[in-house]
Amino acid sequence: MSLTLRIILFVGSLVSFYLCVKKIKQAKLKVENSITWMVGSFILILMSIFENTVGWIANKFGFMSSANFVFFIIIVFLLIQVFIDNIRLSILNEKIKNLNHYIALKENADERKANNKK
Amino acid sequence: MISLPINFGLTSGIQVGMKYAKANGYDIAIQFDGDGQHEAKYLKKLVNEIEKNNVDVAIGSRFVEKKKPFTARMIGNRLISFVIKIVTWKKIKDPTSGMRAYNKKAIDMFNSNASLTPEPDTVVYMIKKGLKVKEVQVEMKDREFGESYLNIFKSVKYMVNILLSIIFIRTFTRKEK
């Protein structure tokens, strides 16, 4: 890994870490949702510091260079994150749909009650 | 008439109807296009099947007695029919028909499984679950007003969705013991 890449990783991770904490303070991000980002950026910081270990692991797994290994880890991390978000989105969608149904059925029942009284 | 505050699509509309049917203890629920394609006079036939012949789901089909024409529009219809035949060993001649009647068992199914839609893959699910599905000959007209939600791109997407759902999801539906 080149020194430039290590510096970019280190700075990028610090910035994302800082953004997470800031958003949590502003109550724009839930703590449980931020954990993956925190852990992710922490791992990147570790990777930029302990370059030799990363190189050793990359070599064992058969990566051409340790930079490739770092990118691989980032891609896996992002895929997992997107998948989790997809599931959350589907759950939210389902909840809104059910609320929508509930409101419609309730309004219909109220209307019929009102009509019966007349 | 139940009006939904947010437009959530066709599936959501059918599902709210099924919830209403269950909440009010209806014996039969009917899925019916309101754009003039379907004629209400055939509904009696569908309901008859359920009441007299112990059928669980009756489908208003254009091709029980008549032959399916070889037109571009029917390619998808044939393909879905073919896949259903492979998966369920049952011949459904008009799987895309939107005119269906469901009995209590099917209504309960709609209420307990949110992935059920008013599309052909639900028919496969119900056959797999052991429900009796039967087609009844009806006539359909061209739509009088409104527009189909299918254009060329959406048709392809629809086909892919339905086929994937039938092949990869509904195939593995098991009958409850």
Nearest Cα to B79, choosing from B113, B46, B120?
B120
Q: Is residue A100 pLDDT above 90, yes or no?
A: yes
Count of C-beta atoms within a 10 Å radius of residue B89: 8
pLDDT level of residue B173 (50, 70, 90 thresholds): confident
Tokens 């895309």, residue located: B96
Query: Is residue B5 a part of any domain in this protein?
Result: no
Torsion of CA B166, B168, B170, B172, to 10 degrees: 150
CA distance A89 to chain B (A): 15
CA distance B8 to chain A (A): 7
pLDDT level of residue A20 (50, 70, 90 thresholds): confident
Taking residues A50-55, what's their average pLDDT?
88
Count of C-beta atoms within a 10 Å radius of residue A106: 10
Q: Which residues, other chains included, contact B26 with Cβ-Cβ below 8 Å and sequence gap of 6+?
A: B104, B107
Beta bridge partners of B133: B57
The whole-angstrom distance between residue B130's C-alpha and the CA centroid of its chain comes to 16
User: With an 8 Å Cβ cutoff, is B22 touching chain A?
Assistant: no
Residue-level pLDDT at A72: 92
pLDDT level of residue B150 (50, 70, 90 thresholds): low
Q: Is residue A40 pLDDT above 90, yes or no?
A: no
Query: Is residue B43 a part of any domain in this protein?
Result: yes
Give the separation between CA A101 and CA B5, rounded to whole angstroms: 9
- The rounded percent of chain B whose pLDDT value lies above 90 is 48
Query: Is residue B177 a part of any domain in this protein?
Result: no
Query: Is residue B38 a part of any domain in this protein?
Result: yes
Q: At what angle do helices B73-88 and B152-164 cross, to 10 degrees?
A: 0
User: With an 8 Å Cβ cutoff, is A105 touching chain B?
Assistant: yes
Residue-level pLDDT at B149: 64
Q: What is the DSSP string of A69-97?
A: HHHHHHHHHHHHHHHHHHHHHHHHHHHHH
Mutation to test the B interface, candidates A91, A94, A100, most B Cβ within 10 Å? A100
Minimum-distance CB partner of B19 among A103, A105, A107: A105
Q: What is the DSSP string of B93-129?
A: S-TT---EEEEHHHHHHHHH-TT--SSHHHHHHHHHT
Total domains in the fold of chain B: 1
Measured between beta carbons, which residues in chain B are less than 8 angstroms from residue A105?
A: 2, 16, 19-20, 23
Query: Is residue B2 a part of any domain in this protein?
Result: no
Q: At what angle do helices B104-112 and B10-23 cross, to 10 degrees?
A: 120
Q: pLDDT digits over B21-53, tens only?
A: 999 999 999 998 888 888 888 999 899 989 999
Give the separation between CA A92 and CA A33, rounded to whole angstroms: 15
Residue-level pLDDT at B177: 62
ipTM field:
0.78
Mutation to test the A interface, candidates B6, B15, B16, B111, most A Cβ within 10 Å? B16
Taking residues A51-61, what's their average pLDDT?
90
Q: pLDDT digits over B103-130, tens only?
A: 999 999 999 988 899 999 999 999 999 9
User: With an 8 Å Cβ cutoff, is A103 touching chain B?
Assistant: yes
Q: What is the DSSP string of B23-62?
A: HTT-SEEEE--SSSSS-GGGHHHHHHHHHHH--SEEEEES
Closest chain A residue by Cα to residue B8:
A97
Query: Is residue B118 a part of any domain in this protein?
Result: yes
Q: Is residue A37 pLDDT above 90, yes or no?
A: no
Q: By residue range, what is the domain housing residue B35?
A: 10-172
Residue-level pLDDT at A33: 78
- Of A79-83, B11-15, B151-155, which gets the smallest average pLDDT? B151-155
> How many CB pairs below 8 Å do chains A and B form together?
35
DSSP summary character for residue B72: T
Closest chain A residue by Cα to residue B24:
A109
CATH (domain of B90) = 3.90.550.10
pLDDT level of residue A114 (50, 70, 90 thresholds): very high
Give the separation between CA B143 and CA B122, rounded to whole angstroms: 24
Q: pLDDT digits over B72-109, tens only?
A: 778 888 999 999 999 999 999 999 888 999 999 999 99
Q: Per the structure block, which two tokens stand in for B64?
A: 């029980």
Residue-level pLDDT at B37: 86
Query: Is residue B124 a part of any domain in this protein?
Result: yes
Residue-level pLDDT at A65: 87
Mean pLDDT in chain B? 88
Query: Is residue B4 a part of any domain in this protein?
Result: no
User: With an 8 Å Cβ cutoff, is B115 touching chain A?
Assistant: no
